[in-house]
Amino acid sequence: MNLLLLGRGKTGEMVEEVARERGHQMEVITSEENPAAKALTPERLKDIDVVIDFTTPDAVVLNIVAVVSAGKNMVVGTTGWNAHLERVSELVSRKETGFVHGSNFSVGVNVFFGIAQAAAAALKLGFEARIVERHHEQKKDAPSGTASSLQQVLESAGGQRPEITSIREGETVGTHVMIFDSPNDTMMLVHDAKTRRGFAEGAVRAAEWIKGRKGFYDFKDIFRQLPPDVAKKEREA
């Protein structure tokens, strides 16, 4: 596929590496080259199959509008723009494009969401929950999109909206802890990202999945539909 990556931060660099490993053509436009989405013209996007965005909350909405308006499919790993979800969904429907967004593109984290839903049963049986998330000090949004998603899962499934504590320090990739406490016992469930590669692989595989499709999708709802990772098995053979 011909992919275009917006943003070359720490995760963006890994997306570029993974995409090339999987045999895709990858072009990159940095944030400095794309003020107010001005670089995303229909002519510039003409030969692109899917655009992947890992920029910033301040830039992402204008990028989305430009790409979708040009009729191109898109994967968005940037978080912090949930207030615009309905508007973007309507635009995607009107332009008949394909769009995947997610608070986290790690398959492990999305399995963790399912674990959270099962554990939420405890909230109706005398437990109280809280969430602690830790990320690198450069992360711009707090709480993280993943922590907010966990909060929504627990509230929907357990009827309790847990408090989120956000910590920004050092080079932490991303750690999320759900704590369930009662007078009798405590449960602690942890997802700890070792590297950003899990996010990058998920985003590239989402781009492979959305090619040729139409519709507005959340990664947590479609990650089970991803085909077996044949490319990874071939690399390891």
Residues marked as catalytic: 135, 139
d(CA 142, CA 164) in angstroms, rounded, equals 9
Taking the chain, what is the end-to-end CA distance rounded to the nearest angstrom? 23
Long-range CB pairs of 222-226, under 8 A, 24+ apart, other chains included: 222/100, 223/107, 223/110, 226/107
Query: For residues 77 and 53, is the Cβ–Cβ distance under 8 A?
Result: yes
30 Cβ partners below 8 Å, 6+ apart? 7, 8
Alpha-carbon dihedral angle through residues 234, 222, 80, 62, given to the nearest 10 degrees = 90
